Structure 1
Amino acid sequence: MKSFFEEGAYDELSSRLNNLNKDTTANWGKMNVGQMLHHCQMPLNIILEKKDYGVKPNWLVNLFFKKSMYSDKPWRKNLPTAPGFKIMAKKDFEAEKNEITSLLNELNTQRQRNDWQPHPAFGAMTKDQWGKMQYKHLDHHFRQFGV
């Protein structure tokens, strides 16, 4: 699995993001494109230490789910979403695209950083684990919308 911090990953993800438009439809799942973009901002806000969304450590989640966050195996379609990360409200595509673009740009400016804080649910993670998790989450949802 690629890492967000690898050379070229930011450019690839930005290009895929720019291939989305307000009429892009999902190949699976319940979110529309605006909701997906809002949802994808949440892990970016966590790594950038902007919001923690009330996420708390959970040993059961850590035991069974943490490694899948950054493993090389892509996530399967229709995985359940943690309740606090479900987006049900209508979202404006352009506003959400602008916000996620800003977050991706900010994270890219920090790609040389090595001192990442622990994840609020998963605890200590290496830079490589953080980078793979960010890439994998975005890749999953971009594939969901065919980009």
Structure 2
Amino acid sequence: MKNIFEKSISEELIARINNLNTSSMPQWGKMNVNQMLAHCNVAYELTYENKVSKPNWLKKMLLKTFVKPIVVGEKEYKRNSPTAPEFKIIGTREFDKEKERLIEYLKLTQEKGALFFEGKVNHSFGVLTSNEWSNMFYKHLNHHLNQFGV
């Protein structure tokens, strides 16, 4: 899987994001492009802003056991996979605002680099390696950019 901490990979993702527009239509799923961008921002909000409360011990144990291998592993997501409640975007979102936020989060992640993320605690999955962080970020964003044909 591509490494999101490599500048060329981040630039590739940003170029793909810049190919989106307000008329971009999904090839599957229910979200519109504005909602998809906001949805992709949630992973970065959880990482950098702690906007969502941490799961209780039981939920965290279940997440680490059953969800973590899917999220941080090498295997691509299937289309129409279930989404955690924290990631569901209801209502309208502003395209340009969400797009710019996502690009800024990508730049920040690339600038912080792999060493920053090595051993960093994820609020749902506990301690992750930089490779697991990279897989989680890249795989999720790549999945949704593919969803919108870019």
Q: What is the TM-score normalised by the length of structure 2?
A: 0.90
Q: Deviations over 1:7-51 (max 9, x none)?
A: 52101111110110010011111110011101101111223x212
* Of 89, 109, 114, the match for 1:107: 109
- Which runs of 5 or more structure 1 residues have no equivalent in the other structure? none
Counterparts of residues 33-112 of structure 1 (less than 5 Å): 33-47=33-47, 49-56=48-55, 58-112=60-114
- Which runs of 5 or more structure 2 residues have no equivalent in the other structure? none
What's the C-alpha RMSD, in Å, of the aligned pairs? 1.5
Which structure: greater helix fraction? 2
* Aligned twin of 2:14: 14
Specify the code of the residue in structure 2 equivalent to 1:139: N
State the number of aligned residues. 146
**Structure 1 residues 133 and 18: CA distance shift in structure 2, 3 A:** same
Q: What stretches of structure 1 move > 2 A for 4+ residues in a row?
A: 112-117
CA distance, structure 1, for counterparts of residue 54 and residue 25 of structure 2 = 29
Q: Deviations over 1:94-134 (max 9, x none)?
A: 11111111111111211153355311010010111101110
Q: Among the aligned pairs, what percent are the same residue? A: 36
